[in-house]
Amino acid sequence: MAAEAKSVLFDQFALVGKALSSGRRTELVDVLAQGERSVEALAEQIGQSVANTSQHLQVLARSGLVASQRDGNRVVYRLAGEQVEVLWEMLRAVAADNIAGVRPAADRYLGDRGEIEQVSRDDLVRRLGEGVVVWDVRPRAEFEAGHVPGAVSVPPEEVQRRLAEVPEGVEVVAYCRGRFCVFADEAVRALAARERRAMRLEDGFPEWRRAGLPVAVGAG
């Protein structure tokens, strides 16, 4: 009897692993770590149909990883809690350390980071008082849900157009969703091509928030 009960218990634990066994569902967790989003917005972000995205979200909801509420005619999803963010961070770290295919896949996606200077959260806190320009290179909805105080919203599709706003001699620190997000890398490379000194935050906004550092909300 005890063995059967134990099996049932561990099968319940495994539901979380099963929910995260799809790359599209882990993408959804990654986007929701930035803030709540509608099904339609999530579908656009992960390049899936609304119907497929909704099915993935239902799997995540059944495992207790996401929650939802109705906002007029829309259904808005959010992560069920900070533990889910921590779980997602640990999953990425374990995969990066133990799965041989992660590093080459990351290199193909992110490009050569050897030329990109990275700064820590503590370093960025210090630089905020020294006049550094901070670019939040995430979709605008994510910026409005929460961002580093004083940061400027520069969505990925606006980077090239906004390069001329940066005066010579000004340092820029760009950040996005996290360590495996390419938006900040692309912004730093574009700024460097215009001979501006640019760096990226070594991780992203969710890690900044979870560290208890100041957060601003709204359009800024």
What pLDDT score was predicted for residue 71?
84
Is 181 a known active-site residue? no
Beta bridge partners of 158: none
State which residues form the domain around 66: 2-84
The enclosing domain of 6 has a CATH number of 1.10.10.10
Following CA atoms 48, 52, 147, 128 in sequence, which dihedral angle do they give, to the nearest 10 degrees? Answer: -50
Quick: pLDDT tens for 9-47. Answer: 999 999 999 999 999 999 999 999 999 999 999 999 999
The reported pLDDT for the residue numbered 220 is: 73
pLDDT at 17: 95
- Confidence (pLDDT) at 48: 97
Choosing from 84, 101, 133, the residue where a domain stops is 84
Q: Contact 10/18 with Cβ under 8 angstroms?
A: no
Q: Among residues 49, 84, 119, which one ends one of the domains?
A: 84
**Catalytic residue of the set 176, 181, 191, 198:** 176
- At residue 122, the 3 state secondary structure works out as helix
**The domain that contains 147 carries what CATH number?**
3.40.250.10
Residues (pLDDT < 70) of the chain are: none
pLDDT for position 28: 98
Query: For the sheet containing 74-79, what is the strand order?
Result: 37-38, 74-79, 66-71
Round to whole Å and give the CA distance between 186 and 163: 12
Burial classification of residue 129, based on how many CB atoms lie within 10 Å of its CB (0-12 exposed, 13-18 middle, 19 or more buried): exposed
